[in-house]
Structure 1
């Protein structure tokens, strides 16, 4: 996206309003439907309002857990429905007889065309097939010493099979529907019968074998017949899931949602009366009935009320940003972070509201995670005030639940406290204990206040513990998501980058020690100045550390890294030296991207030079060439110029630190003159015109630089016009 469009998006008032309206509208849509939101009561609390009199008759809704239990009982009362299929039995017996004839026909063909090897084309095992074949062969050759005839054997087997199916073979019930009795449906009539009345598959096979034993067959022949018949023993009484589900649905539909009725003008609860379980049912039922009664005629007004409710909360935070955090107020990307966070927490609240289970799932709304993320991305005050707003929004979505708001506020505030001065990502996980303490105090306080049972308090504490465990994990993951998606550089990231064990800084110290020392000194100077003008001190310091990483590619090309007196630029034309010097900017940007440095840190690499002229080589060129052959633009850095307080401070620090380091026999007067000259030169060249620094800011930065640099100076090579610079003449060298 071009920079101009990025700038317009970040600062556009229309985008700002759209973010606000979109956030409010989505949250409003997550409010409970058809419900009056004027009060929320807890069992055990005291009704402090006037007597609540029913303005109209309404039914009393059963407690959700009671209704669910009755629904489950209705399901359990339904017997699994089975379909009895006599046609299936006829098909099975006919199939048995047809296959018997096929088997005998196969044997006839084999006997008519004898071969050395008997081929078995059936599903029978080799032994069973050979046994049947031998019996049939003896039968046909009239050499049988017994009265066994295969056709008679198979006929007797079919009769035994018919006897089994007279009882019926039932399909195995699904595990979740195992019952002692079933409903057997024949036509439109269901008959409740014990399941043991019918044969299971295994029992049917066992019964078939028992029938064969009465015929006096050998064990080998019995096994062959059983193997043959097993392929035809299948259930004729089958479980019908569709019929069963229809019966369950009908049974559940007959369960009433109501436990009674409150008549018009009947008192629901008296003032100062304790809210019992029955009273709470009546109050909740009245609230629901009132919402449904006035939904059509008053839905638009209620919707507008919800909109004003949420808009007021969002506006409070916006006013805070406008007065105390203008950087956030004027940056739509940062406002979008807040909008998405509010929507995310509201969505979790909405989804949990829709889950009806006898458990305090509201404690799985991860408000502390939002508190920590916003604190790490911005600061602790922003995190705390955002926690207040988020707690009020979640309470609103739960029917203006005051106690829930207080518990979230307490837990969220403690979560903010744990990460207010975070130094590394693992520190996020120490918030577990504080979040748990916050919720525990709230749960115990409100539990004792409303006479909650010990079991209720312990269950709520268990769910609070789950929140305390998950919130840090969620924070860890979402923080990375927000950093990548919105290109946000948090102080946590900057702290990690300031570690000297980072690969780039370690390489800089080893390969370019002069540049490294210069960068470290600049970091100290820039950080102190940033503090004076309210800039981000950490960003200024880290920007100074990484501003010259491009010199890692060819450190010997820069004088501060040349250990010998030989300077490669002495044997190179000025225009070539300029290209060598300018190249380190592009190399630095490439390295920054390669090592995934944040965009805000990479900006320091080109901006600390701006569009300044590289005067040392420009002056050499003027000495070597005629003026008409020199294009000053070729001796300038390509920019851009600084666009923030931090990049402007680093530009000034770079020029001042470099120039002061090169002073021979430095004293206070010389250093002050050099600093004044550098500042004047940068201002006159328009290098600070895009930065938000004011004249008073510049004076404070200048004073800060002077105080630090007077005690920090190192020998550097003498530059052209150095004597004039030290006397206060407007000239300066920039490399």
Structure 2
């Protein structure tokens, strides 16, 4: 009887212990879920507050969280297989990828949130947190223009260097010396650095899956020997030369105000490809001096001019240009008026429909598309200047940009009045250098 009671009491104690352990596990799991949820909530809050265009785009939003989940899953898998290999996982590839598709600030913030989540998974979380945080910061600071091979290799070398120095410091703190130094750990750091080189094919894969555009693809599109730009230079040489000038002006402006210079340059190169369909109807391609508009009604002439944006979109889709580039074709005239032909039509019919002489839009909706609209209009208008002087250039630039502001073309673009004034100054200086204008001094 006594033995049976002892056994029953033992079983009862084991059952209660097991029940208590399950309860503890559930509470622990709940705590982890809350903390991870808070981390994701902070990332969402950042996107909602500072990157509304990404927050409102499900594809981009999913892409960011997919990458975070990928890094977390990969690290958790490695921890379960062999915790010694956690430093082989190229965690710093995350900010590098996000910087290539978006910007440095988003890349760093997402990296920090991801490291906080990973600190719940890995052992020695304080050491891991510091190493990966420092490496992520170095990645963002040094990972400029990763489409250049030398820059990527330099970034990898710096990341490995940060790992080495940080590990040495932590080992010295924990061990009180460097006796028993684990050389194998240093090999893991090197492997992690080499794995970072996988960022190039990874970016290419992401572009195809998510339909996004990185700086790597923009560099390829900026090649003037590409098939489409070659065709433009053959069919509409004047337009091609105009596009090159606009690209140079727009790139200078973008660098000055902190916009995406590579994106706006590529957008400028392709913005007028629709003129290939009827090249001689545009003044820059009328080398013979014959103007076919002389034989057309103003309405027909305006329709041909306006249609170059629609034709450009069709050609761009035929050549599989990314949507971000097509946006420049679609918006570079906004919903502005083809004023010359509208005035001509109004002479014959004062009640002519004004809207039939408008571009379909939409208006520019980013800094880059606004920059292109300004650069395109000013460069085209500057060709009409006879004996250009600095005063004439200044007046022309002020007149065109102020007209675009007054007509509300930049209401949807994330651009300030201060930036517009800076753009004016940059364009005036750029046009003065193009036309070799000297400052006029009084005699």
User: Normalised by the size of structure 2, how large is the TM-score?
Assistant: 0.80
Cα distance in 1 for partners of 2:126, 2:283 equals 67
Change (3 A) 1:650 1:314: same
Q: What does residue range 500-649 of structure 1 map to in structure 2 within 5 Å?
A: 500-531=224-255, 533-623=257-347, 625-628=348-351, 630-649=352-371
Shift of 1:605: 0.9
2:163 and 2:397 mapped to 1: Cα distance? 55
Q: C-alpha offsets along residues 104-158 of structure 1, whole Å, 9 cap, x if unaligned?
A: xxxxxxxxxxxxxxxxxxxxxxxxxxxxxxxxxxxxxxxxxxxxxxxxxxxxxxx
- Structure 2 residue aligned with 1:681: 403
**1:354-503 equivalence runs, <5 A:** 354-355=80-81, 360-399=84-123, 401-424=125-148, 428=152, 431-446=155-170, 449-450=174-175, 457-473=182-198, 475-503=199-227
- How has the CA–CA distance of structure 1 residues 685 and 587 changed in structure 2, closer, same or farther, with 3 Å as cutoff? same
Partner of 2:66: 340
Alpha-carbon shift at residue 344 of structure 1 (Å):
1.0
The structure whose Rg is larger is: 1
State the distance in 2 between where 1:463 and 1:365 align. Answer: 9
1:510 Cα deviation from its structure 2 partner: 4.0
Residue 30 (structure 2) pairs with residue 309 (structure 1): no
8 A contact 1:380–1:420 mirrored in 2: no
Query: In structure 2, what is the Cα distance between the partners aligned to 1:530 and 1:416?
Result: 20
Once the two structures are TM-superposed, the CA of residue 522 in structure 1 deviates from its matched residue by: 1.9
More helix by share: 2
Provide the rounded CA distance (Å) in 2 between the counterparts of 1:692 and 1:416: 24
CA distance in 2, matches of 1:426, 1:703: 34
Change (3 A) 1:635 1:399: same
What do residues 411-449 of structure 1 show as CA deviations (whole Å, max 9, x unaligned)?
444444552232436854555444443444455555564
Distance (Å, rounded) in 2 between the aligned partners of 1:535 and 1:457 = 46
From the superposition, tell whether residues 345 and 696 of structure 1 become closer, same or farther in structure 2 (CA, over 3 Å): same
d(CA) in 1 for partners of 2:429 and 2:166? Answer: 52
Question: SS of 1:367's equivalent?
Answer: coil
Compute the displacement of 1:654 (Å).
1.9
Q: CA deviation at 1:322?
A: 6.8
1:226-268: CA deviation from partner (whole Å, max 9, x where unpaired): xxxxxxxxxxxxxxxxxxxxxxxxxxxxxxxxxxxxxxxxxxx
* Distance of aligned partners of 1:396 and 1:532 in 2 relative to their CA distance in 1, 3 Å threshold: same
Q: Partner of 1:671 in structure 2?
A: 393
How many angstroms does 1:554 deviate by? 3.5
Out of 412, 435, 438, the residue aligned to residue 690 of structure 1 is 412
Instruction: State the number of aligned residues.
Output: 418
- 2:440 maps to none
Partners of 1:425 and 1:476 within 8 A in 2? no
Taking the aligned partners of 2:44 and 2:101, their CA distance within structure 1 comes to: 17
Unmatched 5+ residue regions in structure 1?
Answer: 1-290, 715-735
Q: Which string of whole-angstrom CA distances, capped at 9 and with x for unpartnered residues, describes residues 262-296 of structure 1?
A: xxxxxxxxxxxxxxxxxxxxxxxxxxxxx977433
Q: Which moved more, 1:646-655 or 1:410-419?
A: 410-419
Distance 2:231 2:313 in 1: 16
User: Which residue is equivalent to 2:6?
Assistant: none
Structure 1 pair 559/482, CA: closer, same or farther in 2 (3 Å)?
Answer: same
Which residue pairs with 1:707 in the alignment?
429
Mapped contact 1:375–1:383 kept (Cα < 8 A)? yes
Rounded to whole Å, the distance in 2 between the matches of 1:676 and 1:593 is 35
Report the secondary structure of 1:527's partner residue: helix
The Cα of 1:585 is off from its aligned counterpart by 1.6
The equivalent of 2:14 in structure 1 is: none
Find the aligned partners of 1:329 and 1:367 in 2 and give their Cα distance.
Answer: 23
Q: 1:669 to 1:406 in 2, by over 3 A?
A: closer
Q: 1:430 to 1:510 in 2, by over 3 A?
A: farther
When residues 365 and 566 of structure 1 are mapped into structure 2, their CA distance, relative to the original with a 3 A threshold, is same
Contact 2:145 2:215 in 1 (8 A): no
Q: Distance in 1 between matches of 2:378 and 2:402?
A: 11
Deviations 1:461-492 (A, max 9, x none): 3443333323321x223322333444433333
Please give the alpha-carbon distance, in whole angstroms, between the structure 1 residues aligned to 2:401 and 2:183.
66
